[in-house]
Structure 1
Amino acid sequence: MHKKSGIALILAGLLAGCANQPGGLQGETLDLGDSQRVSRLFAYPNNCSVICYRDWTLEQTVEHYLQQSLTRDGYPQANVRVTRKGERIHAIFDGTPTDYGKSLLQLLDAGDLAYQGASQLNSDGKWQYNWYFFLPLGMALENRKSVELLHFPPDYSLTQAQDYLRSSTTDRWASLLSFNGVQAEQTPAYQTIIDIAPIAAPASAGSALEGVYGYFTSYQRRMVSELSVGSGDTSLPMVAFGAPVRSWITQQYGVNLPVLGLGQIDAAPGQQVSVLGANHPSYIWYAADPANNKGSEAAANAAGIKVMGQDLSAACWQAGMGQQPTADPQQTLNTCTEKWQVTEKLQTCELFFTSVRNLKPDEAAAKCKAG
C-alpha cells in the first residue's frame, strides 16, 4: 500500500468513527474534590464494621454510584472511570454529553450543605449511633421525568444494597408506575428522590427524624429548586409522600397538601412546580392491617382497597405529567381518579389482593366480584 493512501485511509477511519458517535456524546473529566470530601459525600466506606460487606476502594464506590446514574439516565453503553491524583478524585466519563457532569457537581455542592447540617446535628448531640449520612446517589442526573419527596432512606439501601432505589418503598411505587403504563426499565427516571432527611436509618426512626428537618433547610430547598427543573420552561412534576413530608411542604412553601391534594410551590423565583400529596408507599400495609381496623378483616380490606385507589391515582398522575409536563395538572388528576376509583374500580380491588394480600389473580378476581 502506498504510504500516502495508507495515512488517508487511517484518517478516513478516524473521521468515520467520530461520525458514528451519537450526537454530542464525547464525555468529560470532572474534579470531584479531595478524598476527604468525596469520602463523606459518598458515605465511604458504605458497609464496613470490622469486616466490609463489599470491600471496595473509594474509587470503586464512586464508580458504582456514577455507573448507576449513567444507566438510569439512558446511557447504558457509557462508562465512567474514577481515579486519584494526589488527594484529588477525578471522574472520567466516556460516551456522555459534554455537560453531563453539571448535575453531578450540583448534587455534590448541595451535599456539602447537607453535610454541614449533619455535622451540626451531631455537635448538638442529636445524631444517633445507627444513622448514616446518605445523599441520593445513583439517580438519573439528566433525563429525569419527575421528582419524589420522601422522608428518609432505609439503612439497608446503603449498607446492603448500595442502591438508593433498592427498598420496599421504591419497589412498590415502581410497580404502581408500571400499572400506569411506564415500562419497568423506565421507572428509575420517574423516581428521582429527595429525602428531606439525608440520613439512612432503620424503619423505626421516623418519629426521631421528624425533629431534624431544620438542620437541612438549605440543602432541601436547593435540591427542590435544582431537581425540579425540566427542559425549556417546564418544571418536573413532584409527588410528596407521607404526612411528615406533606407537612414539610406546608411549613416551607405555605401549600396545604392532603392525599390527592394538588398544589403549586415556588421552587425558585419564576419557577412554579406542581406538587401532588400522596400516601407514603408503605402506608397501605398499616391501613390494611386488621389490628388497625378493630380486628375486622373485611374493614381492613376495605381500607386497603381505598388506599390502593389513592396510590394508583397518584402514580397515574405522576406518570401522565412525567410524560407530558405541559399537561394540565388538575385535569390529569381528574382523569386518573376517575379511572382508578370509578371506571377501573374492580381492577383496583384485584391489584390490592394480588400485591398486598398476595393472592393469585384468579383468587383476587373471585374475591372482588363477590364484593
Structure 2
Amino acid sequence: MHKMALPSLAALAFTGAAMADAQIDLGDNQRVTRLFAYPNNCHVICFRDWTLEQTVEHYLTQSVRRDGHANAHVQVSRHGDRLQATISEVPATYAEPLRKLLDSGELAYEGARQLNKDGKWSYDWYLFLPLGMALQNRRSIELLHFPPDYSLTQAQDYLRSNTTDRWAELLTFNGVEASQTAAYQTIIDIAPIAAPASAGDALKDTYSYFKDYQLRMVSEMALPHASKPLPMVAFGAPVRSWIQQQYGPQVGVLGLVNISPQPGSEVPVLGSNHPSAIWYAADKDSHGGNQDEADAAGLKMMGQDLTAACWQAGMGRNQQADAKSTLKACSNKWQVTQKKQTCELFFRTVRQFTPEQAAAKCNSGVVKRSLMELRRPVEGVQNL
C-alpha cells in the first residue's frame, strides 16, 4: 500500500490558500451509499465492518493526507437523511474539487444503471469512483482502463494495486520521492468499474455508457486552472484508442499529442504501455519458452516505461516544461545514455535479481545485444 506521507512545503504552497474548515453537503443516504460503493467489502461477514460515515471518513482522510494536510481531521455527521463532511485545517476551497468529483460520479452511476438495465452488467462488478486521491495538490493525471476489484474489496484504496505500485516505483526511479508519488497518480478510469483483473475484454462494451462521466472527469481533472493544464499519461491500447475516438489524435506508445477537453485548452498526453504489460511481454511462455527473447522484449518495454515515467515526473515537477523537449531528454536518458541502468532495473524489479546478479546479467553478451535494440517497439503486447 502506498504510504500517505506528506508533501514538501513547496507542494503545500501550490494551493495558495489559508487553512480553514471546509464543509460539504454530501447528499442523502442513498446518494452517499452509491457514490462511495458502500458497503465496500461485505457478503455476510464484512471484511471491515464500517458504517457509511466511517467509510466516507476513510476515503476523505486518504485525500487530505495525500494532499499534504497533516493536521486535517475529517468528520462525517448525519442530519436527518443527509450526510455532511467537515474537514478541518484545509484550504477553504477544499470542498470544491470533492463536490465536482461526486457530481461527476452521478454521471457514472447513471451509466452503470443503464448498463445493468441493458443486461450488460456482471454480478462481480462494483461501481467505484476514484476516491481517496489528492484533490488539490495534483501533479499529473493517469488515464487507465478500470480498477481491479481488490482495490475496493480488500484494500479500500484506489491507489493500492500491482499496476499503481509498479508505476509509483518507476516514478521514484525518476526522482519523485516515494512520499510524493500519489500526487502524480490522480487516476481516471474510462470504465469506473472495480472488476477482476481478467475482465478487460468484457468491459469493451461499457465505455459508451460512461462518455459523459469520462469527458467531464478529463476536463475537470486535467484543467484545474485554465492556465496550467496537468500532463496526462494514457496507459494501454484501450485507453489510447479512447483518446483517438474522443479527441481525434492517434497516440502510440511514447507518442505525444495535445487534446482539447475544453475549447481553447491544450492538455499534453503521452501514450504508454499499461504498467502491467511488462509481465506479459517478459513471460517466456509468450516467446515459445525462449528466455533470451523474453528478456529482450522485457528490456525494450522497461526502456519505454521508464521513459514515460520520466516524462510524467518532469512535466509534473515543472509546469512550464516543454513536453517535446522533456520526452526527447527522457528517451535519450533511458534508451541511450543509461540503458545499462535500464537493464539492471528490469532484472531487479521484474526478474527479482539482486543488484549484483542484475549487474552481471547486463554485462553478458546476449543481454548486451538486446540493449542495442532498446528503441525498437515491443511486438504482440499492445492490446493490454
TM-score interval (norm. to shorter):
over 0.9
Partner of 1:17: none
Of residues 318, 327, 341, the one that matches 1:324 is 318
| 1:142 and 2:139 aligned | no
2: CA distance between counterparts of 1:164 and 1:173? 14
Q: Is the partner of 1:359 in helix, strand or coil?
A: coil
Partner of 2:120: 126
Partner of 1:80: 74
Partner of 1:181: 175
2: CA distance between counterparts of 1:29 and 1:312? 40
Partner of 2:363: 369
2: CA distance between counterparts of 1:180 and 1:279? 17
2:282–2:297 CA contact under 8 A, matched in 1: yes
| 1:171 and 2:180 aligned | no
Deviation string, structure 1 residues 165-189 (Cα, Å, up to 9, x no partner): 0000000000000000000010000
Of residues 344, 348, 356, the one that matches 1:354 is 348
2: CA distance between counterparts of 1:347 and 1:108? 43
Partner of 1:89: 83
Q: Which segment drifts farther, 320-329 or 359-368?
A: 320-329
1: CA distance between counterparts of 2:128 and 2:226? 31
Identity percentage of aligned residues: 65
1: CA distance between counterparts of 2:268 and 2:319? 10
Q: Which segment drifts farther, 226-235 or 39-48?
A: 226-235
CA 1:119/1:261 → structure 2, altered by over 3 Å: closer, same or farther?
A: same
1: CA distance between counterparts of 2:21 and 2:214? 29
| 1:275 and 2:243 aligned | no
Q: Say what the alpha-carbon RMSD is for the aligned residues.
A: 1.0
Q: Is the partner of 1:96 in helix, strand or coil?
A: strand
Q: What 5-or-longer segments of structure 2 have no aligned partner?
A: 1-15, 369-384
Of residues 12, 33, 37, the one that matches 2:31 is 37
Partner of 2:44: 50
**C-alpha displacement of 1:112:** 0.2
| 1:315 and 2:309 aligned | yes
**C-alpha displacement of 1:294:** 2.1
**C-alpha displacement of 1:363:** 0.2
- The structure number with the bigger radius of gyration is 1
Q: Is the partner of 1:212 in helix, strand or coil?
A: helix
Q: Is the partner of 1:30 in helix, strand or coil?
A: strand
Residues 282-301 of structure 1: pairs in structure 2 closer than 5 A: 282-301=276-295
2:149–2:196 CA contact under 8 A, matched in 1: yes
Partner of 1:104: 98
Deviation string, structure 1 residues 265-301 (Cα, Å, up to 9, x no partner): 0011122100000000000000001111121100000
1: CA distance between counterparts of 2:94 and 2:292? 52
2: CA distance between counterparts of 1:173 and 1:95? 31
Q: Is the partner of 2:316 in helix, strand or coil?
A: helix
| 1:238 and 2:232 aligned | yes
Deviation string, structure 1 residues 335-368 (Cα, Å, up to 9, x no partner): 0000000000000000000000000000000000
Aligned length: 350
Partner of 2:299: 305
Residues 156-235 of structure 1: pairs in structure 2 closer than 5 A: 156-231=150-225, 233-235=227-229
Q: What 5-or-longer segments of structure 1 have no aligned partner?
A: 1-21
1: CA distance between counterparts of 2:244 and 2:61? 36
Deviation string, structure 1 residues 280-329 (Cα, Å, up to 9, x no partner): 00000000011111211000000000000000000000000001122110
2: CA distance between counterparts of 1:28 and 1:200? 29
2:17–2:92 CA contact under 8 A, matched in 1: no
1: CA distance between counterparts of 2:146 and 2:53? 26
Partner of 1:266: 260
Q: Is the partner of 1:33 in helix, strand or coil?
A: strand
Partner of 1:247: 241
1: CA distance between counterparts of 2:61 and 2:163? 22
| 1:115 and 2:109 aligned | yes
2: CA distance between counterparts of 1:221 and 1:326? 25
2:149–2:194 CA contact under 8 A, matched in 1: yes
TM-score, reference length from structure 2: 0.90
Partner of 2:60: 66
TM-score, reference length from structure 1: 0.93
Which one-letter code corresponds to 2:271 in the other structure? G
2:21–2:89 CA contact under 8 A, matched in 1: yes
1: CA distance between counterparts of 2:226 and 2:35? 30
2:226–2:265 CA contact under 8 A, matched in 1: no
Which one-letter code corresponds to 2:134 in the other structure? A
**C-alpha displacement of 1:255:** 1.1
Which one-letter code corresponds to 2:217 in the other structure? M
